[in-house]
Amino acid sequence: MHTLNQILHVVATALVFLGAVPLVVAIVQFLLVGVQRFRRLYEDRPFHVPRTAVLIPAWNEAPVLASSVEGLLAMRYPRDRIRVVVVDDASTDGTPEVMRRLTARHPGRVVHLRREDGGQGKAHTLNHGLAHVLGDDWAEAVLVMDADVVFDRDALLRMTRHLADPEVGAVTAYIKEGSGKQGNYLTRYIAFEYITAQAAARRAQNVLGVVACLAGGAQLHSRTSLEAIGGRIDTSTLAEDTVTTFETQLAGRRVVFDGYATVLAEEPGDLTGLWKQRLRWARGNLQVTHRYRHLWFRPWKRREGHRLGSVLFGLIWFSLLATPALLTVCSASLLYLYSTDSDRSWQLFHWLWVVNLVCYLLILLMAAVVDPGTFRRCWREALFYPGIVSTCILVVTALPSVFLPLLERAGLLAQDGTPQPLMIVVYAWMGLALPLAWCAKLLTGTRLRFLAPVLLHLVGYGSLLAACLVAAWVQERRRAELTWDKTEKTGKVAAGR
């Protein structure tokens, strides 16, 4: 029995530190950003302006279409080398009227394609447009974007320069949360998330030579690359942009992220819209994981002209997908150790949160360096991104000699070693935060919806994303219907410029 207990303690100790894996992997990505300069991704790129067809799928996008299209045509790009093709997916709002005005104002440069039998989703809409664009030989490149995004004036020029290299099949831009002063606490959380998940993570993927996903709102393809993968977008998953990214690399062409090509996008300003969006993304990623299961952690696949089997890329991918499980297992292990060996549990708990603190401080520092403008706008949300409770735990465990005596004098901790409710909650917090985040989402549809932001601040934005991933697992397990739920757009990005 003694030997069994020792084995269980060793296993529990190892499982505790799994809770820090997502943050450690994030740090590795940030460190790789510093190596990017040696890949010479932005230097010595010749001026390259292929004839580019911009493809915009649109369903009920009247509030945002005019500003997006006008912004595209006002970019620094030769007038005779850009066309905008809007695929109207049977819109029931004022989209057709907006398009009539745009095509009249820009004859030959703006094309309106109307699908009378719509509602099949973004991928089907894009395929309708691709059939038109690739039906003649005018387009040398195709830019796929969303109707609500606003490109910086130099963004397309920065993206097309990479296509001068015939080995590059696709390029994606840095999509930033664009509501600015019209945003709220939630859009500022998203703004910080995008610094880490796009500006940093995709730069790191450039270094690895493998990119996980072309941003759905800003993906540029060479015609040759599109035709090599069949000239169509996958319609069998909710992650058509990720599938296209993988297929481009499997066909032997590189995908590049250009962090200097920036695009502003309108993101959900309420928990209901965010949950709907992220549930779709999470389910899509799970579908992609299964679809390409033959690639993961197979570095020898590099001989086939891609690096999707890279071990580090696999760790990056799965550390995100496994976050809910890692946090839950970590909490359960801490509770087991607390009930059997409280001294060991405290030491592990202390070092786990010290590692988390060091990693998170590095992430904050790097985020401020990578995108200082956005960081200045959302620094408060960045500080409390893990949640107010987790932030307090980070501070207390970093300085136990200062805070623990105060808690003991307050009667919240016992000096005789008896279990205390506060310690049980704290040890279980990583796993407990997930259902609490789900409760914040549930509150949005009730009379207590004013409590939802309070609860979200307490448990953390990251916990909400992890809870959403659990919901995606459940839906995939139940084989729930694949529906492409569109988030509502209001045009506040264009209004704020």
- CA–chain centroid gap for 272, Å, is 17
pLDDT, tens only, 63-104: 889 989 999 999 999 999 999 999 998 888 899 999 999 999
Cα 365 to chain center, whole Å?
20
Closest CA to 268 of 26, 443, 485: 485
Which whole number is the average pLDDT over 314-342?
89
- Amino acid 491: pLDDT: 61
pLDDT value at residue 72 = 93
Task: State both tokens at 41.
Answer: 């991704």
Residue 417 pLDDT:
46
Specify whether the CB–CB gap between 106 and 185 falls below 8 A: no
CA distances from 413 to 330, 353, 354, 419 (A): 22, 18, 20, 9
Q: Is the pLDDT of residue 119 over 90?
A: no
Digit-coded pLDDT (tens) for 137-152: 999 999 999 988 999 9
As a whole number of angstroms, the distance between CA 13 and CA 10 comes to 5
Average the pLDDT over 127-134 and give the result.
94
Per-residue pLDDT of 378-413, as tens digits, reads 999 999 999 999 998 888 887 777 776 776 665 555
- pLDDT at 346 > cutoff 90: no
Beta strand ranges found along 178-232 (DSSP E): 218-222
- 168-177 and 141-145: which strand pairing? unpaired
- Pairing of the two strands 150-151 and 141-145: unpaired
pLDDT tens across 11-23, in order? 888 888 888 888 8
Whole-number pLDDT of residue 152: 93
pLDDT over 60 (residue 414): no
Counting other chains too, the contacts that 162-166 makes at CB distance below 8 Å and 24 or more residues apart are 162/41, 162/45, 162/256, 162/258, 163/48, 163/50, 163/220, 163/222, 164/45, 164/46, 164/48, 165/254, 166/224
In DSSP terms, 171 is beta-bridged to 220, 256
Domain ranges of the chain: 2-22+320-477, 42-269
At 66, list the tokens: 């005019």
> In 10 A of CB 294, how many CB atoms?
8
Q: What is the pLDDT of residue 43?
A: 59
pLDDT, residue 495, reads 46
What pLDDT does residue 399 have?
78
Residue 416 has pLDDT above 50, yes or no: no
Residue-wise pLDDT for 41-71, tens only, equals 555 667 899 999 999 999 888 888 998 999 9
When pLDDT is averaged across residues 333-351 and rounded to a whole number, the result is: 82
- Taking the CB of residue 92, how many other CB atoms lie within 10 A of it? 9
Nearest to 81 by CA among 163, 142, 6: 142
CATH 3.90.550.10 given to domain 42-269: yes
pLDDT exceeds 50 at position 187: yes
* Phi and psi, residue 179, nearest 5°: -75, -20
Q: Which residues of 349-358 are buried (b: 16+ CB within 10 A; e: fewer)?
A: beebbebbbb
Judged against a pLDDT cut of 50, whether residue 228 lies above it is answered with: yes
Residue 277 has a CB neighbour count (10 Å cut-off) of 17
